[in-house]
Amino acid sequence: MSIGNQHIEIIVDNNSSCKNLAIKDHSYYLNSEEIESPKLQIQLPGHSTWYTFDFNISQINIYNSYSFSLSPTDSLTNLPDGLYSIKYGFCPYDENTHLFYHLRQCQAWCKWEQFLKQSIDSCLDISPDAEKILNRIEFLLKGAEIFANDCEPEKALELHQKAVELLTRLECTII
């Protein structure tokens, strides 16, 4: 006899490489043996196509540029930053399909870290101007992630795009 309510929770691991999309299943299934044909559909930022994959429940599933046919056969490339739409479902799909959003900001965070590193001087200090802009970008990136997790993709994209714009402007002033 199953006790409780089934709870579906799919989490994207932000600590993964910019080349990987690692998706963990943290769901609570009433009876995991009865889960039939679990599938994951992923829509990349700016694309209309959905990529469909078999999904291993209660595990980490890893996707990369090969999975989405984005790279040549000899090397992986970074997956694009932006809003990913993720549908997870299992039979019967009309009753058991769940939509999640993930705002991937891997490359934006790498740039932010690079600028922070460049801004620290020999006295292990940072100029007030650099600190102000880096703090603003950090808040925008974190805010974007919060809105994406709260299923507000439009606001998430707005904040992300503003952060990327500021990063680009900062990159032009440093180089």
Buried b (16+ CB within 10 A) or exposed e, 46-64: eeeeeeeeebeeeeebebb
Q: Going by DSSP bridges, is the β-strand pair 60-64/50-54 parallel, antiparallel, or unpaired? A: unpaired
Q: What CA–CA distance (Å, rounded) separates 135 from 116?
A: 10
Strands (E), the chain: 10-12, 20-25, 36-43, 50-54, 60-64, 82-91, 97-104
Q: Count CB neighbours of 2 within 10 A.
A: 9
Structure tokens at 38: 């679990």
Q: Residue 118: what pLDDT? A: 84
> According to the model, what pLDDT value does residue 122 have?
64
The predicted structure's pLDDT at residue 149: 87
Sketch the domain layout of the chain as residue ranges.
10-104, 106-174
The answer to pTM > 0.75 is: yes
Sequential pLDDT tens for the chain (175 residues): 455 577 888 889 887 789 999 999 988 887 777 788 899 999 999 999 999 999 998 889 999 999 998 887 788 899 999 999 999 988 888 888 899 999 999 999 999 998 888 887 666 777 788 888 899 999 999 999 999 988 889 999 999 999 999 998 877 665 4
- Return the CATH fold of 10-104: Immunoglobulin-like (2.60.40)
pLDDT of residue 4: 59
120 touches 126 (CB < 8 A): yes
The answer to whether 101 and 153 are in contact (CB under 8 A) is yes
Q: What is the pLDDT of residue 15?
A: 75
